Amino acid sequence: MLLNPAASVRGEKYQVVEGKTPEISIEQARTLIAGIRLAMTLRNGDSVRDIVGLRDRAIIGILIYTRARASAVAKLQFRHFVHDGALWSLRFIEKGGKSREIPVRHDDLEKFIAEYINAAGLRDAPSDSPLFRSAPRRGRRLTTNRISNVDICRMVKRRLVDAGLPSRFSPHSFRVTTLTDLLSGGVPEEDVQYLAGHADPRTTQLYDRRQRRVTRNIVERISV
């Protein structure tokens, strides 16, 4: 056919103004971290650090405090946890092969990562070895293999259930919460966009849940 008969037909205009990823609240995120078991009791009654629990707390802390994707966290190696003489940073390899370095919060996240590394005996691990390692199912030991993106997603789901939180949340929910919290705190949108690694500001706006909160408050005021 020389001409497409459907070429002149105008389709329905569809515009996405908000992403579909559910937002986990600040209180729920704190509950999740606080509910992770960090010690376990042996048969002889002795108490030791729970390596898997320390690992999971460090991973969830990174998801919250750096807004990194689970896939980028899974790719972390020891050489990506760097110190410049003043502070620690994490260098992420993200979508499209882009490399981004995000500072590590000193009061909490730095502690989470350090405690995990020390308890797992990984302080002298080779620089190209995985920072976060997998664990056998229902096991409390770590393997030498890198944890996968799927493993992180499943781990987050398990930790949500253990904490009594909705299982509909995902690792990406922390990304929504972090970006919305920064925007609510008055951080300029262009700075939040840079932290998120978004090339288009409209992508950052999809993570903004401030309008949903306003709408929820308005709905509650309906007198019917």
Query: Are 147 and 134 within 8 A, CB to CB?
Result: yes
Q: What angle do CA 23, 29, 32 make, to 5 degrees?
A: 125
63 Cβ neighbours under 8 A, 6+ residues apart: 70, 73, 156, 171, 174, 175
Using alpha carbons, select from 32, 6, 8 the residue that is nearest to residue 177: 32
Query: Are 157 and 172 within 8 A, CB to CB?
Result: no
Q: Which residues are catalytic?
A: 69, 95, 172, 175, 198, 207
